[in-house]
Structure 1
C-alpha cells in the first residue's frame, strides 16, 4: 500500500492533474483549529514586508501602514497621507532601498528559521515564494485610489515607467534570493478588482501590469516550478492573461466570479482555491454552528465535483472576538469532517 502523500505533495500534484488524497484547506498562516500540517506557507525576503506587523509602520517605499484590532491587525496605507501626489513626479519620491550589501543566504536562513519556530516543516508544507502585494496595489498605496486610478487613465506612460522601476528592483531581489529559499512555487499577488468589477480593463492590465507579473513568474517557470495568483474580487476577466505566464493556482476565488464556469473551462489546468465568502446571515453573531457548517458543506458540494478545487474561507477580526474565532473553528471542523466522511464520494 502506497504511503499517504503529504499536504505539500497533494498540493503540488494537483498542478499535474493528480487529484488530492484529501480535501485541503488553504490558509494564510498556521490554523489553530487544525492538527493537520499546513498545505502551503509563504516565504521570501523578510525585509520587504517588515511593516506587515500588528504595529504597522512604513514600508520600504515610505508608505505608512496602520492597523486596527477589529481587522485582526491587517495593515492598510494610512488614509489621506499618501506619498505621491503627481504621477509625473514619481522619480522625485519613489526610491528603491540599497540592497548591495545584503547577505542573501543568511537572510533566507533567518527567514526559514523563523518559519520553523512557527512549526512549519518544508518537507510537509509547500513553500510559496512571494515578495510584495502587487504593482497595482503599490500604485494605490503611493497615491490612493482616486489619484492612482486617474493616473492609470491620464498618464499611462508615466505609470508604465514607474512599474518598470519597481519591477527592476523586485526582480533584482528575486534573482539574488530566490534559490536560497528553495521554494516549491511562486505566488504573484495583486488585487486588481473590487467585488462587482475589475478596477482596470483587461487592456490596461496587459499593458501596465501583466508584463511585470510575468517577469516575476519566469523565475519559477525557468526552474520547472508552478505559479499561483492571489487576486480578490471579480477578477475572472484576467484569468486567460494569468494563464499566459503559467498560473495554475488561483486564490481566493471569490463567489462574485463564475466559479463553476471557470472550473469547467480550465479543468485541471487551473486549481480554484476559494468559494466561501462569509456574508449575509453567516456573519451575524446569532448564526448557529449548524447553519454555518451547512453553508461550508454546501460550498464544497457545489465546487468539489470534477476536482481542481481547494477550500478557502476565513473570517478576520479581533483576536479576542469569540464569535469570529468560533466560526473559524466551525469552518475548519466542517472541512476536516467532510474530508473524512464525504470527500472521495464527491470527486
Structure 2
C-alpha cells in the first residue's frame, strides 16, 4: 500500500494512484511566519492591509485603505527582510509537526501579484489602476515577484517541499476579472517567473484560483507552466477543459461548492452523490486531488455534511481506481 505522500504525488503528476488523495488531509502544510504577523500598534500586515476574520477566513477590512494611489506602494509596503527571518526555527517547527508519510506543501502566498494591490486599494481603484497606471502597477508587480522568488530560495533550502502552492483569485463565479490580453501582458510573465523558480527548487507548482476560470485554465497550464490548478469552479467549461487536456490538467478540488451537496440541510444521499459526481467528472482516470474548498462553514449542519463527504471520499475514492 502506498503512503499518502506516494499516492498524492502520483495524482499530482497526472497519474492514476491507488486512491483519490485528499487536500489537506494528506498534506503537511508550511507557510512562512510573516504572512500571519501584524503590526502591534496598527494591526496591519506588511502591506498596511487590515483584516477581518469571518467563516471564510480573513478578508480585508472595507473601512480601511492601505494607500490612496498605486504610486504610494514604495512608501507603504514594508517588505520583510527575508535573510533575517528565523528559517531554522520555522523549519524545525514544521518538521516537529509533520507526518513523514504525507506530502509536504509549502504555501508561498494566498494573495499575490494581483490581489495585493487590490487589497491595498480596494476593488474599484485597484482594477482602475490596471488601465490608468499600468507602468506603476507593473513596477509593484515586479517587486512583489522578486520578493516571492527570494522567499522561494529559502523555502527550497530549509523546507524542501514536494509542492509549492501560490495563489491569486483572478476570477469570480461569473468569470475572470480581466481580459485575456491584460492577463497575458501584465501577469503571465511574472507568474511564469515564480513557477520557474518553484521548479528550480525541485517542487511542483500549484496555483490557486477559485471561481469560474474560463480561459485562465489554458493560460495556467500553458504559458504559466502550472502543474496543478487548485479549486477552479466546477462547470461545463471546466469539464470541457478536462476533456481537452486530460491528465495534463491536474485539479485540486472537483467538488461543487454550489451544488446540491453543499446546500443547507442537504441530505446524506445528496452529499454522498456529490462526491461521486466530482470524482467521476474530474478524476475518473486520475489527476485529481479531492478538496471541498474549505469554506463549507462551521455550523452543525456543515459539520455533518463534512463527515458524510469525507467518509464517501475515503470509500468511493478507493473503489473507483480498483475497477
Question: Normalized against structure 1, the TM-score is what?
Answer: 0.83
Q: Report SS of the residue matched to 2:229.
A: strand
Please tell me whether the aligned partners of residues 263 and 272 of structure 1 are also in contact (alpha carbons under 8 angstroms). Answer: no
The one-character-per-residue Cα deviations of 1:95-124 (angstroms, maximum 9, x if unpaired) are 3233453342233223443xx1xxx31x22
Structure 1 residues 315 and 102: alpha-carbon distance in aligned structure 2, compared to 1, 3 A threshold: closer
Q: Report the equivalent of 2:185.
A: 207
Q: Report the equivalent of 1:31.
A: none
Q: Does 2:7 correspond to 1:21?
A: no
Point out the more displaced range, 224-233 or 297-306. 297-306
Q: Does 2:113 correspond to 1:132?
A: no
- How many residues matched? 318
Q: Report the equivalent of 2:67.
A: 84
The one-character-per-residue Cα deviations of 1:59-83 (angstroms, maximum 9, x if unpaired) are 2222111112xx15x1000013011
Matches within 5 A, 1:46-65: 46-50=33-37, 57-65=43-51
The Cα shift of 1:43 comes to 1.4
The Cα shift of 1:15 comes to 4.4
Please tell me whether the aligned partners of residues 108 and 164 of structure 2 are also in contact (alpha carbons under 8 angstroms). Answer: no
Point out the more displaced range, 150-159 or 93-102. 93-102
Point out the more displaced range, 277-286 or 242-251. 277-286
Structure 1 residues 89 and 245: alpha-carbon distance in aligned structure 2, compared to 1, 3 A threshold: same
Please tell me whether the aligned partners of residues 40 and 128 of structure 1 are also in contact (alpha carbons under 8 angstroms). Answer: yes
CA distance in 1, matches of 2:238, 2:87: 40
The Cα shift of 1:221 comes to 1.5
Q: Report the equivalent of 1:231.
A: 209
Please tell me whether the aligned partners of residues 292 and 330 of structure 1 are also in contact (alpha carbons under 8 angstroms). Answer: yes
CA distance in 2, matches of 1:283, 1:17: 27
Matches within 5 A, 1:127-276: 127-133=104-110, 134-243=112-221, 244-256=223-235, 258-276=237-255
Please tell me whether the aligned partners of residues 226 and 246 of structure 1 are also in contact (alpha carbons under 8 angstroms). Answer: no
Please tell me whether the aligned partners of residues 315 and 324 of structure 1 are also in contact (alpha carbons under 8 angstroms). Answer: no
Structure 1 residues 97 and 164: alpha-carbon distance in aligned structure 2, compared to 1, 3 A threshold: same
The Cα shift of 1:180 comes to 0.3
Please tell me whether the aligned partners of residues 15 and 248 of structure 1 are also in contact (alpha carbons under 8 angstroms). Answer: yes
The Cα shift of 1:213 comes to 2.0
Q: Report the equivalent of 2:279.
A: 300
- Structure 1 alignment gaps of length 5 or more: 28-37, 52-56
The Cα shift of 1:166 comes to 1.5
Structure 1 residues 112 and 200: alpha-carbon distance in aligned structure 2, compared to 1, 3 A threshold: farther
Q: Report SS of the residue matched to 2:246.
A: helix
The Cα shift of 1:139 comes to 1.2
The one-character-per-residue Cα deviations of 1:188-241 (angstroms, maximum 9, x if unpaired) are 211100111101122222222222222222222124432111111122312333
CA distance in 2, matches of 1:92, 1:223: 32
CA distance in 1, matches of 2:116, 2:146: 14
Structure 1 residues 316 and 188: alpha-carbon distance in aligned structure 2, compared to 1, 3 A threshold: closer
Please tell me whether the aligned partners of residues 47 and 66 of structure 2 are also in contact (alpha carbons under 8 angstroms). Answer: no
Question: Normalized against structure 2, the TM-score is what?
Answer: 0.89
CA distance in 1, matches of 2:297, 2:19: 31
CA distance in 2, matches of 1:274, 1:161: 33
CA distance in 2, matches of 1:241, 1:291: 34
Q: Does 2:266 correspond to 1:287?
A: yes
The one-character-per-residue Cα deviations of 1:268-299 (angstroms, maximum 9, x if unpaired) are 22212222223365444332212221222233
Please tell me whether the aligned partners of residues 262 and 296 of structure 2 are also in contact (alpha carbons under 8 angstroms). Answer: no
Q: Does 2:292 correspond to 1:313?
A: yes
